[in-house]
Amino acid sequence: MWFNRTLFAAVGLTATLSMQLALAQPSGVECIAPSDPGGGWDFTCRSVGRLLEEQDRVDGSVKVTNMSGGDGGVGMSYVVSKRNEDPNLLVAASTATISNLAQDRYTGLDHEAVRWVASLGADFGAIVVREDSPYENLNQLLDDVMEDPSQVSFGGGSVAGTWDDLKVRLLAKAAGMEDIADINYVAFNSGGPAQTQLLGGHIDAYTGDFSEIAGQLEAGNVRVLAILAPERLAAAPDVPTAIEQGYDVIGANWRGFYAPGNISDEEYQEWVSILGELYQSEGWQEAMEANGLGPFWQGGEEFGEFVDQNIEQLVETSREVGVLE
């Protein structure tokens, strides 16, 4: 199952970058985060956009537009129908994007409707509770889930059956739960609203990714019960992994971008080159470490092939956990 150890082999390797000569720098660049502010897609657009400006890799500024709805489907539909030839547009994407596509949640769209530019890192899943929660470790939380799934509510920034939901179901399965369909999962448009509900006491646990909650952890507002990584993160050395606690689950969420489907090959390769150079920069490497991202570069055609393979694997995994027939 690609959410577990097989994916780590890919995440742990940084592919050799095949750079193309950049053309004239894009001007008036817009990055669409297909979510509300505060989630992982928003983080991707704002972090990369800031560095593109600071490193003078684009001509002018990078405008970030939040376009929530349909767990990313509204943003993709807008790009395909309104902006599909715009070379100055990027859209933040992740494992959640292709899991939605694999499960046909973006009505009338498939992954071939856009051009997959690059992934710039992998974000590991986290199981998070409020600082004052009675749950002090993952075992306590999953024990209550096993006893009565209805008594523990999990919230995430994607719809039921997609990335945030699958993470907790895989943990429950590793704990020995037979009917993981009984998990009490509450879906939100993005990570920001889900965190708000967690801090307000309306859900018991949040199943986001580490980069989304790093600020809340630093502020002392939350407790991270487990990181779904093969080993502890440098950004959170005191947080144990799920593996340490007896659950052999690794969940890595790549973060990257797609571009409109009808841009030219030259315009597409220009973005591959720009993002590849940014990935190698000291600024992005520091940003990855600060936000708990692991190294994972895929660019251009190589990334497109990776997305194709992931779609196939996600269909298989979704059937295994009962999301697809």
Give CA–CA dist 277/43, Å, rounded: 19
Phi, psi dihedral angles at 187 (to 5 degrees): -95, 140
pLDDT digits (tens, 9 = 90+) for 220-234: 999 999 999 888 888
Q: State the pLDDT at residue 21.
A: 34
Q: Is the model's pLDDT at 41 over the cut of 80? A: yes
Per-residue pLDDT band for 89 (boundaries 50, 70, 90) equals very high
pLDDT digits (tens, 9 = 90+) for 147-165: 999 999 999 988 788 778 8
pLDDT digits (tens, 9 = 90+) for 251-296: 888 999 999 999 999 999 999 999 999 999 999 999 988 887 888 8
Report all structural domains of the chain as residue ranges with CATH numbers, in order of start: 5-123+253-320 (3.40.190.150), 124-245 (3.40.190.10)
- Is there a contact between 295 and 288 (Cβ–Cβ < 8 Å)? yes
pLDDT digits (tens, 9 = 90+) for 116-134: 999 999 888 999 999 999 9
pTM, two decimals, is 0.72
